[in-house]
Amino acid sequence: MADIKEINQIGWYLDNSYANLPETFFSKVKPTPVSSPRLVVLNEPLAEALGFSSKELKKEESTAVFGGNKLPEGTVPIAQAYAGHQFGHFTMLGDGRVILLGEQIAPSGERFDIQLKGSGRTPYSRGGDGRAALGPMLREYIISEAMQGLGIPTTRSLAVVTTGEEVMRETPLIGAILTRVAKSHIRVATFQYAAAGGTVHELKALADYTIKRHYKELEGCENLYLSFLKAVVERQASLIAKWMLVGFIHGVMNTDNMTISGETIDYGPCAFMDIYDPAAVFSSIDRQGRYAYSNQPTMGAWNLARFAETLLPLLHDDENEAVRLAQEAVSEFSQLYHNSWLSGMREKLGIFNEELQDKALVEDLLNMMYKYKADYTNTFLALSYDKPEDVSMWNTDEFNYWLVSWKDRLSRQAQAKDVCWELMRKSNPSVIPRNHRVEEAISAAENGDFSVMHKLLKVLTCPFSYSTEHAEYASLPPKTNKRYRTFCGT
């Protein structure tokens, strides 16, 4: 292990507050060393924001930490326990291939979990090998950083190392470890774990810890746990509305993949849609379309109902009253989501004030996009830059009629036209991580060329600019009959 002086130079400043929770919530376990870790991507701006020296993080010493071969000063490595509903079925889970090194206290005073994903087996690995492959880890890196660029709360990616070892999936793949950063990894499923097998004392300890970490402003509220539930409902409503506004499909909204902090987590089978389609599904295992694009708000509310159930013993001594309070809190999701979505849609269309017919205006546009198979991102982009697109929808009477009513709508507000453009341009990204671009970057990287990925990341981190570089990434994938497919547990 490196000495303290050296580590301090790197910038490690770890606390381990989660490890002070009752022992049922975690297992102490160290990463399993790998043969020859090699740093392939480092997120320098994130590193600096966390208080690290990027220069030091590029050195062999730190590569050894990212590979799990060396432990940083101050770590109490653990794997977290959780349960969860996967596609509606309750299961005992836990970090099967992840080790939490601790919580880095950033210079801002904020606390961030630092996790190694793919760092070997843990007591929760079940049949898994505890490892991860390079492709999926790069995918998580690219999409999480794209989400950050889009202003959507998300876990972050600090680094990827290859391990020098192969992982066996359908074929042998290049082994890799992702260093993930999050406000915390406390999930709906962590509460389900506490409620399923733990005591009320343990459940309360978890709730108090989570409130202190993520909802400190609630401390002192009259019914603290009810306020907590409502605040989580609110954050998830806002988060899912943000996904919907950019055409993001999470793909695996199981309760173990829903954070209490309100950050998007788990970039396994997610994808952004090109053509607008409410039924869009990319995940190969989601055959029923449970997590289809337009089902995401319903599934969010379903998960929150599971969360509310876990809190019942804390909500009220009388069980019936507790159930009533929980139901009431979860039922607020629908309106909160709708308000958040509609206000986001108004911004996408340059609308500042509110009119009753706004929802119909948006729905008419979406229905036409569906009917004429228009690209979701590029339609809003074309409207924002007042550049008609050379695609079928733009040549129809019904769309031109819609354009007139939209422009009429814009004239019924005080703001001048250029102010409307400005609002639209900062609300409609010119680039999203389109599936064909992500695949292209990953496949080049798997063959040793990381330049394609770096070029892609450069535009994805500032998606609201519109340079010639961005224009290149706004182009659609070549037409194909094959449906794009994504995979879980890779």
Write out the catalytic residue numbers: 256
Min dist. Cβ of residue 93 to ligand AMP (A):
4
Q: Give the amino acid at 326.
A: A
257 binding Mg ion? (CB under 5 A): yes
Q: Which stretch binds ligand AMP (CB under 6 A): 95-103, 105-113, 151-159, 173-181?
A: 95-103
- Which one of 95, 140, 202, 274 is in contact with ligand AMP (CB under 6 A)? 95
Q: Is 149 left (phi over 0), alpha (psi -120 to 50) or beta?
A: alpha
Task: Specify whether the CB–CB gap between 372 and 277 falls below 8 A.
Answer: no
Q: How far apart are CA 399 and CA 142, in angstroms?
A: 35
Query: Minimum distance from CB of 155 to Mg ion (Å)?
Result: 11
* Residue 131 touches which member of Mg ion, ligand AMP, none, C-beta under 5-8 Å by kind: ligand AMP
Q: Would you count residue 97 as binding ligand AMP (CB under 6 A)?
A: yes
Q: Least distance to ligand AMP from the beta carbon of 125, Å?
A: 4
Q: Say how many residues make up the chain.
A: 490
What phi and psi values does residue 156 have, to the nearest 5 degrees? Answer: -115, 170
Give which of Mg ion, ligand AMP, none residue 97 binds (C-beta under 5 to 8 Å, depending on kind): ligand AMP
Instruction: Output the residue with the shortest Cβ distance to Mg ion.
Output: 266
Please give the distance of CA 133 from its chain centroid, rounded to a whole number.
Answer: 19
Regarding 117 and contact with ligand AMP (CB under 6 A), the answer is no
* DSSP one-letter string for 107-144: TTS-EEEEEEET----TT-TT--S-EEHHHHHHHHHHH
CB nearer to Mg ion: give 283 or 428: 283
Between 16 and 490, CB nearer to Mg ion: 490
51-87: b (≥16 Cβ within 10 Å) or e? bbebebbeeebbbbbbbbbbbbbbbbbbbbbbbbbbe
Both structure tokens of 230: 């409502």
Q: d(Cα 237, Cα 434) in Å, to the nearest integer?
A: 25
Q: Is 266 in the site for Mg ion (CB under 5 A)?
A: yes
Q: Which does 125 bind (CB under 5 to 8 A by kind): Mg ion, ligand AMP, none?
A: ligand AMP
Residue 204: CB minimum distance to ligand AMP, A = 25
Is the CB of 91 or the CB of 343 nearer to ligand AMP?
Answer: 91
Please spell the DSSP secondary structure of 336-358, one letter per residue.
HHHHHHHHHHHHHTT--S--TTH
Q: CB of residue 486 vs ligand AMP: minimum separation in angstroms?
A: 12
Q: 191 with 211: CB under 8 angstroms? A: no
Closest CA to 244 of 182, 188, 295: 295
113 interface partner picked from ligand AMP, Mg ion, none, CB below 5 to 8 A per type: none
Single out the segment in contact with ligand AMP by CB under 6 A; choices: 91-99, 204-212, 371-379, 382-390. Answer: 91-99
Q: Which stretch binds ligand AMP (CB under 6 A): 89-97, 137-145, 407-415, 463-471?
A: 89-97
Span near Mg ion by CB under 5 A; candidates 7-15, 132-140, 193-201, 253-261:
253-261
Q: Which is nearer to ligand AMP, 263 or 274 (CB)?
A: 263
Determine the Cα–Cα distance for residues 414 and 50; give it in Å rounded to an integer: 43
The contact mask relative to ligand AMP for 124-153 (x = CB under 6 A, - = no) is -x--xxxx----------------------
Closest distance of CB 259 from Mg ion, Å: 10
Residues 189 and 306: their CA atoms lie apart, in Å, by 9
According to the binding rule CB under 6 A, does residue 178 interact with ligand AMP? Answer: no
Q: How far is CA 77 from CA 70, 101, 102, in A?
A: 11, 5, 7
Residues 285-344 that bind ligand AMP (CB under 6 A): none
Cα distance between residue 323 and residue 288, in whole Å: 30
Minimum distance, C-beta of residue 274 to Mg ion, in the bound complex (Å): 25
Instruction: Tell me which residues in 225-284 interact with ligand AMP (CB under 6 A).
Output: 252, 256-257, 266, 268
| DSSP SS3 for 150 | coil
Round to whole Å and give the CA distance between 4 and 10: 10
β pairing state of 38-42 and 26-28: unpaired
Contact 135, 490 (CB under 8 A): yes
Tell me the closest approach of the beta carbon of residue 75 to ligand AMP, in angstroms: 20
The residues binding ligand AMP (CB under 6 A) are 93-98, 125, 128-131, 252, 256-257, 266, 268, 488-489
The residues binding Mg ion (CB under 5 A) are 257, 266
